[in-house]
Amino acid sequence: MFTSLSNVIKLMVTMKLIILSSALPADNYWNNRAAILHEEEVLSLGGNLTFLPGERSANNILMTLKKKEIDEGFVKPSKFLASNNFIKAKNEIEKSDVFKIIKRMPKGAVLHSHDTAIVSVDWVYNVTFLDNLYVCDSNDKLLLHFFDEPKNDCDWKLLSDLRKNTELLGDLDERIFQKMTMVVDDPDMAYADVDTAWTKFMDVFIFIEPLLTYRPVYEAHYYEGLRQLHEDNVMYLELRSLLPTLYELDGTTYTPLELCEIYKNVTDKFKLDYPDFIGAKLIYAPLRFMSIDELKNAINETNKMKLKFPDFFAGFDLVGQEDKGIPLITYADELKKMSNDIEMYFHAGETNWYGASIDENLLDAVLLGAKRIGHGFAIVKHPKVLKMMREKNIAIEICPISNQVLGLVKDLRNHPANILFSEGYPVVVSNDDPGIWGGKALSYDFYEAFMSLMSRNADIRALKQLAMNSITYSSLNEDDKIKAMDLFNQKWLVFVDELNS
């Protein structure tokens, strides 16, 4: 018994010594710590890029401003812009020195943006001052439409006539503007959950569609969208479009194939006007609420567009609120029949649910051969799918402001994409529907990603890598990617020189 007790005491002493020794500073503690931090830096987005001449000094300027802004937010968390709802923070973001630098940098491409939401709301509102626009106010429901002679299905009144008489006009202009935007004084209260946010979001699209689908307006709107991107130092666009039915005053309408041609013609014109703009491509993206027969028709239209415009038509997607939509698995058998010439760019995992058919769309998107995944908000909950995406080099299109405004995450520091950035996954940052929530072009989303989704230590190389990723994971052919990357590098050198000066 004594021997047993002695052995127990020896064991306890030994364990205590082990515990004490592990608490003592080891000779290589600081070296190990530095090595781990360095390894994390290299692993993160852009961390393996080497500073080129001039970039280090430019980076010092940028990082001084970034750390100052973050450190001020650390002292007063409520003042940290990237943690606030974008709708509330937008005006203050525009005053940020970091944001001003990001606006000046070349940002490569926008790969995830939707047709009737790529232009700022002010431009869309100004469309209401064009001739032949009628308004109907029936049961507190506003409708807008261009007519030569209005139909008798509603009490249509010429909006320009109402504006001549302030008594008749009343608060109509204010009501029109508010129906075009999600911007409100208190977005957190107005959009308390995903469904309320999406209801308003879709209401905006429904309201502005008859205004924008008048063919001359639609062309001008798309051209303006390209101009706003170019002004923001974006070089290329891949646009998702529902391909809505355009109309003329005489009642003429346009098929999806004809609208595809309109897009191409406007793009070609813009490239002539702005030779340093690489161009744009179209992704057909009908709503994810279709019957199988409707899907077959959509696939048929897709085949026609790819056949007629092989270099302009990029591929196929399905859009709409994923929580309410039909899961990809329902469509899988038909989608598997899609021609190998047609790339797929599925919205998938744009949800905060886990283990539902919605987040499992991620698996089906990968198995169906998607070239990129739109949003992928739930991807970190599916490690096997995430591993498959890395192995197949499938990029994830991160749209931070969209995810926040539409209720998936309140504080962007908690966005799951921070894991993707920290581990250097193939990601791009895009703008989704900036015009709906008071945004414009791409810089706001780059700012939010840089300040909240990335580490405080993520630097100018991360921004550079993001821009290069948008070219790498685009649908441009290899020769065009090389040309685009050469142009980007030229613009990047100019940006670095200007920042240093």
Residues labelled as active-site residues: 350, 375
DSSP string, 113-168: EEGGGSS-HHHHHHGGGSTTEEEEEETTEEEEEE-SS--SSS--EEHHHHHH-HHH
CA distances to 62, 64, 94, 156, 352 from 98, in Å:
7, 9, 9, 48, 30
Looking at residue 49, the DSSP 8-state letter turns out to be P
Measure the CA–CA gap between 443 and 99, rounded to whole angstroms.
7
Three-state secondary-structure class, residue 85: coil
From the number of C-beta atoms within 10 Å of its C-beta (0-12, 13-18, 19+), residue 62 rates as buried
Ranges of beta strands (E only) in 289-355 are: 313-316, 343-348
Measure the CA–CA gap between 183 and 500, rounded to whole angstroms.
36
Tokens of 396: 């994830």
Are 400 and 445 in contact by the 8 Å Cβ rule? The answer is yes
Measure the CA–CA gap between 108 and 114, rounded to whole angstroms.
18
Beta partners for residue 136, in sequence order: 143
Beta partners for residue 352, in sequence order: none
Looking at residue 75, the DSSP 8-state letter turns out to be H
Q: How many CB atoms within 10 Å of residue 97?
A: 14
**Tokens 């004809």 found at:** 258
Measure the CA–CA gap between 329 and 368, rounded to whole angstroms.
10
Are 345 and 317 in contact by the 8 Å Cβ rule? The answer is yes
Three-state secondary-structure class, residue 306: helix
Measure the CA–CA gap between 353 and 160, rounded to whole angstroms.
47
The phi, psi pair for 35, rounded to 5°, reads -65, -40
Instruction: Single out the residue of 180, 240, 182, 174 nearest to residue 206, CA to CA.
Output: 180
Q: How many CB atoms within 10 Å of residue 309?
A: 17
For the chain, the straight-line distance linking the first and the last C-alpha, in angstroms and rounded, comes to 82
Instruction: Single out the residue of 111, 187, 102 nearest to residue 407, CA to CA.
Output: 187
Are 421 and 469 in contact by the 8 Å Cβ rule? The answer is no
**Tokens 């791009």 found at:** 428
Tokens of 465: 């890598």
Beta partners for residue 398, in sequence order: 429
Q: Which amino acid is at 313?
A: F
